[in-house]
A = this chain, B = another copy of it.
């Protein structure tokens, strides 16, 4: 059972790649959950893969919304400061995204 060093490159073998994806996705989800708990922060992630019929979303739909709703606060502050750099712009777009989600 010799584990190769991770080579940071696309896994060409189909089944290996899929298996790898499933394992790492699980690990990633767990880590997000941990970070969220340990530091009391909001976070969310979306992953798309050809191996699954649906995008993978963390956290649950409810949590997803709760997290996103918090983002509203930040962009509003940025806006008041009248920042126009790319990053604040992205933040502002995120607000719009939040609004859309909250309409459900």
Contacts and interface: CB of A to CB of B under 8 A. Distances in A.
A37 to B, nearest CB: 6
A12 to B, nearest CB: 10
A61 B91 CA distance: 10
Contacts of A96: 100
Interface residues of A, number: 57
Contact of A97 (B18, B43, B91, B101): B101
Contact of A47 (B21, B24, B42, B55): B42
B74 A54 contact: yes
Contact of A38 (B24, B38, B86): B24
Contacts of A71: 46, 48, 55
Interface string A5-48: 01011110000011011001101100110110111111111111
Would you list the 3 A-B pairs with minimal beta carbon distance, nearest first? A45-B45, A43-B47, A21-B39
28 contacts: A6-B34, A8-B34, A18-B39, A20-B39, A24-B31, A24-B34, A25-B35, A27-B31, A28-B35, A32-B45, A41-B49, A42-B47, A42-B48, A42-B49, A43-B48, A44-B45, A45-B46, A46-B68, A46-B71, A48-B70, A54-B78, A54-B91, A55-B71, A57-B90, A61-B86, A61-B87, A97-B101, A100-B100
